[in-house]
Amino acid sequence: MTMALSRQELQIEPIARASTIPAQWYVDPDMLELEKERVFGRSWQLVGHTGQVAEPGAYFTCEVGGEPLVVVRGQDGIIRAFSNVCRHRGGPVARGAGVLRIFHCAYHGWTYNLDGSLRVAPELGDIEAFDEDKVSLPKARVELLPPLVFVNLDTDAPPLAQYLGDFPDFLRRYDADKLRFIVQKRYEVAANWKILLDNFLECYHCPLLHRTTVAAKVDLRGYIVESHDWYSRHYFASAAPDKLAAAAAPVEQTVRHTYCFFPNYAINLLPGWLITFRVLPVAVDRSVVLREFFCDDQSKSPAELEQDGAMAYYAKVFAEDIEMVQLVQKQLRSRFYTRGRYSVRLEQGVYHFHSLLRRVLAEAA
């Protein structure tokens, strides 16, 4: 690793005095490799939902910080995550998603049970000092908050509950475990993953970039950001906790809240809907954005719901963002730009994200 971070770059100042993270962090490939190790390799990652592993043998594949994984529900009903790398010569033991009885590497035929233990290793009868019991697929930690599935590569990381704060209690008010998965939308964006998060974490840009969408629907003067240990909560003044307690209608019928979790995902809660937003780094200047929609409407088909106001609205807003974040990615290579400053009132979410990134990188050094 050739990326060296200076004490000044990692220093966390109060927002009124602080500068944004350096432009180099968005354009240097070595920085992304460092983030994979120190950030993605040690944080709880949202990887999917329980509907993808609804029955024994159901599985899906994913990556966390470039690490290939397979998530599966075992015959005992327990959901586990394993390395999707065969212990022989590195082939994948599963591809895509589906239902299976065993993991099978199509390269040389090694197979594994759904608990990760080695089942068959062909043509190894004459091998010496080979203990099959020690050649199982390495595990990642799995925790559930239905309908969401989380994975952590770090066996020493704090439990998910400590990471999520008050979100589980808030989520239960929406009966999220009863929501129906509708669709996943996938976008390929020519921008660093952090640019997409920066953009998502503030509404400073909304009056200009979202003039006919976000800015036309809400009073941006009432936009509030609360910073917590590992997440920030975004809402409008009408949804402040003290007003919710006095409201006549239940919170889940009236309130829209967004929880943004470090490092790379957010969850929108609004009446009848749960919408996830994940940003997955592909290269220093390329990312994949996944949006998953869950709804409480049991009567309409997914195709009908895709025409629903909520889904159409989010698609339009994101389309307005994509062009700008891709332009910013190109602009950050300018010799005349190194870093910027924060709006104290409007960029608290970005400042919180940058502060957590600096802290994690410094602690893991």
Query: Tens digit of pLDDT for each residue in 44-85?
Result: 999 999 999 999 999 999 999 999 999 999 999 999 999 999
What pLDDT is attached to residue 299? Answer: 83
Confidence of residue 107 (pLDDT cuts 50, 70, 90): very high
Confidence of residue 236 (pLDDT cuts 50, 70, 90): confident
What pLDDT is attached to residue 242? Answer: 47
Q: Which of 125-134, 159-168, 189-198, 252-261 has the lowest mean pLDDT?
A: 252-261
What pLDDT is attached to residue 187? Answer: 97
Residue 56 placed within a domain: yes
DSSP code string of 174-234:
TTGGGPEEEEEEEEEESS-HHHHHHHHT--TTHHHHTTTTHHHHS-GGGEEEEE-SSEEEE
pLDDT over 60 at 100, yes or no: yes
**Taking all residues of the chain, what is their mean pLDDT, rounded to a whole number?**
91
Q: Are 294 and 275 in contact (CB under 8 A)?
A: yes
What pLDDT is attached to residue 240? Answer: 45
Question: Range of 332's domain?
Answer: 7-43+165-363
Residue 342 placed within a domain: yes
Rounded-to-integer distance, Cα 355 and Cα 348, Å: 10
Residue 1 placed within a domain: no
In angstroms, what CA-CA distances link 285 with 88, 196, 200, 340, 345? 33, 11, 17, 20, 29
Instruction: Give Cβ neighbours of residue 254 (< 8 Å, ≥ 6 apart).
Output: 239, 247, 271
What pLDDT is attached to residue 250? Answer: 47
Percent above pLDDT 90 for the chain: 73
What pLDDT is attached to residue 152? Answer: 98
Convert 226-249 to b/e letters by CB count within 10 Å (16 or more is b).
bbeebbbbbbbeebeeeebeeeee
Domain count, the chain: 2
Rounded-to-integer distance, Cα 262 and Cα 39, Å: 9
What CATH number does the domain containing 80 carry? 2.102.10.10
- Are 172 and 83 in the same domain? no
Residue 322 placed within a domain: yes
- Are 196 and 295 in the same domain? yes
Residue 332 placed within a domain: yes
Tokens 């089942």 — which residue?
Answer: 119
Strand arrangement, sheet containing 103-104: 103-104, 111-112, 118-120
What CATH number does the domain containing 301 carry? 3.90.380.10
pLDDT over 50 at 252, yes or no: no
Average pLDDT over residues 143-171: 95
Average pLDDT over residues 117-133: 88
pLDDT over 70 at 111, yes or no: yes
- What is the distance of C-alpha 233 from the center of its chain? 15
- Are 102 and 241 in the same domain? no
DSSP code string of 36-48:
HHHTGGGS-EEEE
What pLDDT is attached to residue 193? Answer: 99
pLDDT over 60 at 293, yes or no: yes
* Category of 161 on φ-ψ map: left (φ > 0), alpha (ψ -120 to 50) or beta: alpha
Rounded-to-integer distance, Cα 176 and Cα 171, Å: 6
Residue 2 placed within a domain: no
Average pLDDT over residues 329-343: 97
- Are 38 and 62 in the same domain? no
306 vs 102: which has the higher pLDDT: 102
Rounded-to-integer distance, Cα 240 and Cα 254, Å: 12
pLDDT over 60 at 239, yes or no: no
Residue at which a domain ends, from 133, 156, 179? 156
Rounded-to-integer distance, Cα 83 and Cα 109, Å: 17
Average pLDDT over residues 243-266: 68
What pLDDT is attached to residue 251? Answer: 44
Residue at which a domain ends, from 156, 190, 225? 156
Confidence of residue 2 (pLDDT cuts 50, 70, 90): low
pLDDT over 60 at 132, yes or no: yes
Q: Are strands 79-83 and 67-73 parallel, antiparallel or unpaired?
A: antiparallel
Query: Looking at the DSSP assignment, which residues form a beta bridge with residue 290?
Result: 186, 278
Query: Tens digit of pLDDT for each residue in 200-213?
Result: 999 999 998 898 88
pLDDT over 90 at 241, yes or no: no
Average pLDDT over residues 128-154: 94
Nearest alpha carbon to residue 47 among 97, 91, 90, 94: 97
Length in residues, the chain: 365
- Are 330 and 231 in the same domain? yes
Task: Copy the structure tokens of residue 40.
Answer: 């993605």
The pTM of the full predicted model, rounded to 2 decimals, is 0.92
Q: Are 65 and 74 in contact (CB under 8 A)?
A: no
What pLDDT is attached to residue 58? Answer: 99
What pLDDT is attached to residue 237? Answer: 63
Task: Copy the structure tokens of residue 74.
Answer: 């075992």
Residue 87 placed within a domain: yes
Q: Are 196 and 190 in contact (CB under 8 A)?
A: no
Task: Copy the structure tokens of residue 332.
Answer: 């950050």
What pLDDT is attached to residue 246? Answer: 42
- Are 35 and 54 in the same domain? no
pLDDT over 90 at 341, yes or no: yes
Convert 176-208 to b/e letters by CB count within 10 Å (16 or more is b).
beebebbeebebebebbbbbbbbbbbbbbbbee
Q: Which of 153-157, 212-216, 276-280, 352-356 has the lowest mean pLDDT?
A: 212-216
Rounded-to-integer distance, Cα 248 and Cα 184, Å: 34
pLDDT over 50 at 248, yes or no: no
Query: Looking at the DSSP assignment, which residues form a beta bridge with residue 152?
Result: 141
DSSP annotation of 306 reads T
Residue at which a domain ends, from 127, 156, 185? 156
- Are 123 and 25 in the same domain? no
- Are 38 and 111 in the same domain? no
- Are 172 and 261 in the same domain? yes
What pLDDT is attached to residue 131? Answer: 84
- Are 98 and 173 in the same domain? no
